[in-house]
Chains A and B, each alone.
Chain A
């Protein structure tokens, strides 16, 4: 080979086989890196995506429940894909009983309620996401603590016209005739079955209205999520563990809904 200025370049050191080996090594190292680090990362991404999709799916189901309870829609169905885990309905009569709520004012009101659960469990993601009493909550599988993904609609209202305070507590139970669980593509069919309406006003109602939450003694404990909701969002005071005192209210409305999960 001749260079422009006429100096002759010596290219006896250039070897095709060494060049090939260099390129081949680069390729092998590239493949190795992708297999060792890229592929597990990709799998992790998939698991995270499954988790996020299921979080959204359960919010969609929560919206269905809202339509059934607050908007008088008699029946709702949603097709969804459960990936990376399974979706199970634990009905209100499931034994051993799951978590329960008790609302009592010490004299005229004493209601105990088992809400049942629609629960997604993913072994890969180590994650549990559940709909309980109209709330969507998530927690890690083998670590304590839980978080509320979407809040239920409990509320207190002070009417500026009458200056009366009303507290509305909807209790939403999920029922089913059989124990059901699914994974993959399925349709969640829900129907309203019974509703019950209780309204108690002062003077029958005392100032000591208290909500007791009994977490699930067997598997997943969502008491932290409920505590944060009661004490931060509703500004109730925690008088003892899982015991919450309402601020004085003139009227207490307890609305019980029973939703029948027809299929998963």
Chain B
């Protein structure tokens, strides 16, 4: 009988370790696609530019006379509803007495996913 040669058992051990490592790596990789997609979706959904644009329009409208302001207000509401599918409304009032600002501006934005409300002074 030939003697059992056990010099190379580490090869078998290495084989096991490598196969288990590959298995776990495969699990990690399969999860990563899901994470990437949901994160990308969340970024895509957030209407940052829409809100920034509405804010800028509202701030520039705050200098208008009350007649023109009503018109601009209706225009902004209808346009954002028809073009961007978002409900936008705002109110510009005189700042309370003693405040260092002239106007108080309230903005409401909602597109069904993101709702944004702001009260600010100008």
Q: Is the CB of A160 within 8 A of B117?
A: yes
Q: Is the CB of B84 within 8 A of A157?
A: no
**For B117, what are the chain A residues with a Cβ–Cβ distance below 8 Å?**
160
**Shortest distance in angstroms between A81's beta carbon and chain B's nearest beta carbon?**
14
Given the contacts A56-B37, A63-B41, A154 and B112 also touching, CB distance less than 8 Å? yes
**For B111, what are the chain A residues with a Cβ–Cβ distance below 8 Å?**
70, 153, 155
**For B108, what are the chain A residues with a Cβ–Cβ distance below 8 Å?**
159-161
Q: Is the CB of B91 within 8 A of A14?
A: no
Tell me the bound Cα distance from A71 to B86 in angstroms. Answer: 11
Q: Is the CB of A170 within 8 A of B89?
A: no
Interface size class on chain A is 20 to 34
The answer to the question of B115 belonging to the interface, with a C-beta cut-off of 8 Å to chain A, is: yes
Q: Is the CB of A168 within 8 A of B90?
A: no
What residue in chain A is nearest B106 (Cβ atoms)? A161
Of listed B41, B44, B87, B111, residue having the most chain A CB within 10 A: B87
The answer to the question of B71 belonging to the interface, with a C-beta cut-off of 8 Å to chain A, is: no
What residue in chain A is nearest B90 (Cβ atoms)? A161
Tell me the bound Cα distance from A253 to B81 in angstroms. Answer: 9
Q: Is the CB of B89 within 8 A of A155?
A: no
Q: Is the CB of B87 within 8 A of A157?
A: yes
A146-164, CB < 8 A from B: 153-155, 157, 159-162
The answer to the question of B82 belonging to the interface, with a C-beta cut-off of 8 Å to chain A, is: yes
Given the contacts A70-B84, A72-B83, A168-B81, A157 and B115 also touching, CB distance less than 8 Å? yes
Q: Is the CB of B1 within 8 A of A162?
A: no
How many residues in B have their beta carbons less than 8 Å from beta carbons of A? 23
Q: Is the CB of B87 within 8 A of A159?
A: yes
From the candidates A1, A14, A199, A255, name the one contacting B85 in the complex (CB within 8 A): A255
**For A5, what are the chain B residues with a Cβ–Cβ distance below 8 Å?**
none
What residue in chain B is nearest A52 (Cβ atoms)? B34
**Shortest distance in angstroms between B21's beta carbon and chain A's nearest beta carbon?**
20
Q: Is the CB of B81 within 8 A of A161?
A: no
The 8 A CB mask of A173-199 against B (1 = contact, 0 = none) is: 000000000000000000000000101
Tell me the bound Cα distance from A134 to B90 in angstroms. Answer: 29
B72-111, CB < 8 A from A: 81-85, 87, 89-91, 106, 108, 110-111
**For A255, what are the chain B residues with a Cβ–Cβ distance below 8 Å?**
82, 85
What residue in chain A is nearest B34 (Cβ atoms)? A56
Tell me the bound Cα distance from A53 to B112 in angstroms. Answer: 27
The answer to the question of A166 belonging to the interface, with a C-beta cut-off of 8 Å to chain B, is: yes
The answer to the question of B35 belonging to the interface, with a C-beta cut-off of 8 Å to chain A, is: no
A220-256, CB < 8 A from B: 253, 255
From the candidates B41, B89, B112, B113, name the one contacting A159 in the complex (CB within 8 A): B89
The answer to the question of A69 belonging to the interface, with a C-beta cut-off of 8 Å to chain B, is: yes
Q: List 23 A-B residue pairs with CB atoms under 8 Å apart, sorted by A's residue number.
A: A1-B1, A11-B1, A14-B1, A56-B33, A56-B34, A60-B37, A71-B84, A72-B84, A153-B85, A153-B111, A155-B110, A155-B111, A157-B115, A159-B87, A159-B89, A160-B106, A161-B106, A168-B85, A168-B87, A170-B85, A199-B81, A253-B81, A255-B85
The 10 A-B pairs with the shortest beta carbon distances in the complex, nearest first, are: A155-B112, A157-B110, A70-B85, A153-B112, A157-B87, A161-B91, A159-B89, A161-B89, A159-B108, A161-B108
